Amino acid sequence: MKNNLRVERAILNISQQELADRVGVTRATINAIENGKYAPSGLVLLKIASICGKSAEDIFQLEEKDWE
């Protein structure tokens, strides 16, 4: 799953740690999500989208390999 979380975070001018604190996860989790190493749970995904004021689909996009 690809995402533009880093861009959305920059728009809000918040650090990975600030976002992590608001979502209730670790900074390492936010880093892993931004780098495509970890696909967030539905709850985390929706919290991130809500904080960013966007829909989940605006931030996270499925890739072809996600269907395999």
pLDDT in tens, 19-57: 999 999 999 999 999 999 999 999 999 999 999 999 999
**Residue 65, both tokens:** 């390999």
Average pLDDT of 58-67? 94
> What is the architecture, at CATH level 2, of domain 2-63?
Orthogonal Bundle (1.10)
What percent of the chain lies above the pLDDT cut of 90? 99
Q: Which residues of 26-61 are buried (b: 16+ CB within 10 A; e: fewer)?
A: eeebbbebbeeebebeeebbebbbebbeeebeebbe
Q: Where are the domains of the chain?
A: 2-63
Task: State the pLDDT confidence band at 12, using cuts at 50, 70 and 90.
Answer: very high
pLDDT for 9 equals 97
pLDDT for 20 equals 98
Angle in degrees, CA 21, 2, 10, rounded to 5: 45
